[in-house]
Structure 1
């Protein structure tokens, strides 16, 4: 109990609360922010991944239960995603175990997390762009039950499962973008419900695999669960008051810079890139919007611009 009440636990609680707010505001998966945050706090990558996965398995179940009760998930789509993701999540944790000594595992995971963050940032940009195109063309996602493409869906689940099984990152980003590309007409509510529900067996499988390797550190897990839950609840309440477009572009920058830091890129270059993204990012995004016939900075002050910006 003394470990749970320590100063380190308070730090974890604050970090988890902050990450939870970001998750509640944007709906993105927390692993992309939580796992590197734990590593930067000095927690070994293997322990960071294992504890984040266990925490995510519990917190995701709450949101998924709401969507399941409301009847929004597409159960056929979930079936094919899970068939691909769950076995590969176990394979991912096995890959970590086969790396060798603990020191080699930590180095491998740190590099893998860095690559996963850069991939997540890329898929997040793709998601924003797809929503921008949808906004520009006036198309709405209204189809509830599109024709399922089993092999392609299975492949998306397998790739996402492998990524989550190794790094804990990807269940709420890579798989969601894959579904957007395969099923562009599916309604937003059904997409979110499907993504949340398919993530439960995926994250549980990955968590079991890592628990068998690393175990669970309660002094890490309990602050993650408490802080993450409270932060997510607060973020969800603030979502309607905050400009979603600005926040999501900011998260892309954070993921990119954090990923480069995890890969050992010189901090000077990371800082230069960060400054360039802050200065040039809005200009580039504004130019892309204009190419699609939209105002460069439409809804800049709106809190409800959502995915479309």
Structure 2
């Protein structure tokens, strides 16, 4: 185990607990810029890291809050899982024929970070708008009622899942922040706590499949993974307990600005 990696896991876990932003948008750039890992290894390791940490979170949401809409999770997965597998197969093919994939991963990582930064800025607005809508309790699970596109709600959800599948597999970014904003847009009448729980539940199979695929491609560093996990769990716990004491109106714009700058650096690399 490496204490520097564990300390990084602690700091990222702290920020995740405070802001609720997915660890991928914070962890992957840190691994690339601070520790010099190849983007492919940073992405692959972070995907398995996300799958493990998010499993703990969804247990809380499902058992204590009953805040997972499993129908939405299913339709998202119908789009995301096949496209994640297809993306992995494309990466494997490119590696087999000797093509360099680092550039594609780096560029996609930059785009995903830029989208995440924008999502941080619009998330509060979407939540405020959703908070004004009241849905009868017996209709809370009717996708056509709570969805923006009504009869086209299922195809729209599958398409959203497909886009997330490609982005997450290539960058490890998007399963958290982008997924939440996408659900807020798709389901403006769904309760916010259910949005978060549903996004978390969908992120587990997606990051697990993508992470396992990167493992088979040799893109996972297990010493790094173990060190990050040791640091991240106490960090998330502490961060979640102090989050209410830090003004969100200052924290989120600051974090969004940082992610914008990092995203631009990746895109222009």
Fold-level similarity (TM above 0.5): yes
Secondary structure of the 1:263 match is helix
Task: Give CA-to-partner distance per residue, 1:22-41, whole Å, 9 cap, x none.
Answer: 11012121101111111112
Alignment of 1:138-217 (within 5 A): 139-140=132-133, 144-148=140-144, 149-217=153-221
Q: Aligned match of 1:23 in 2, 16, 32?
A: 16
Task: Give CA-to-partner distance per residue, 1:277-309, whole Å, 9 cap, x none.
Answer: xxxxxxxxxxxxxxxxxxxxxxxxxxxxxxxxx
- Tell me whether 1:219 sits opposite 2:237 in the alignment: no
Secondary structure of the 1:171 match is coil
CA contact (8 A) 1:160 1:170 kept: yes
The equivalent of 1:127 in structure 2 is 123
Task: Give CA-to-partner distance per residue, 1:68-123, whole Å, 9 cap, x none.
Answer: 11321111111101111111112222333333477822222122211111121122
> How many Å separate the matches in 1 of 2:172 and 2:98?
18
Task: Give CA-to-partner distance per residue, 1:214-236, whole Å, 9 cap, x none.
Answer: 25322211111111212111110
Secondary structure of the 1:166 match is helix
1:196 Cα offset (Å) = 0.8
1:173 Cα offset (Å) = 2.0
Bigger Rg, structure 1 or 2: 1
- Tell me whether 1:49 sits opposite 2:49 in the alignment: no
Task: Give CA-to-partner distance per residue, 1:141-197, whole Å, 9 cap, x none.
Answer: 666324242101111111111100111110012221121111111111111111111
Secondary structure of the 2:101 match is helix
1:128 Cα offset (Å) = 2.8
The equivalent of 1:14 in structure 2 is 7
1:124 Cα offset (Å) = 2.3
CA contact (8 A) 2:40 2:219 kept: no
Q: Whose RCO is larger (CA < 8 A, sep 6+)?
A: 2
> How many Å separate the matches in 1 of 2:160 and 2:249?
26
> How many Å separate the matches in 1 of 2:103 and 2:82?
24
1:133 Cα offset (Å) = 4.6
Q: Which runs of 5+ in 1 are unaligned?
A: 266-309
Q: Structure 1 240/85 Cα, relative in aligned 2: closer, same or farther at 3 Å?
A: same
> How many Å separate the matches in 2 of 1:181 and 1:141?
16
Is 105-114 or 200-209 further displaced after alignment?
105-114
Q: Structure 1 74/178 Cα, relative in aligned 2: closer, same or farther at 3 Å?
A: same
How many positions carry a matched residue from both structures? 255
CA RMSD, 1 decimal? 1.9
Alignment of 1:22-101 (within 5 A): 22-40=15-33, 41-70=35-64, 71-100=66-95
Q: Structure 1 113/211 Cα, relative in aligned 2: closer, same or farther at 3 Å?
A: same
CA contact (8 A) 1:25 1:244 kept: no
1:132 Cα offset (Å) = 4.7
Secondary structure of the 1:69 match is helix
> How many Å separate the matches in 2 of 1:194 and 1:52?
21
CA contact (8 A) 1:111 1:263 kept: yes
The equivalent of 1:116 in structure 2 is 112
The equivalent of 1:277 in structure 2 is none
Q: Structure 1 62/42 Cα, relative in aligned 2: closer, same or farther at 3 Å?
A: same
Q: Aligned match of 1:251 in 246, 252, 255?
A: 255
So what's the TM-score if we normalise by structure 1? 0.77
> How many Å separate the matches in 1 of 2:223 and 2:200?
27
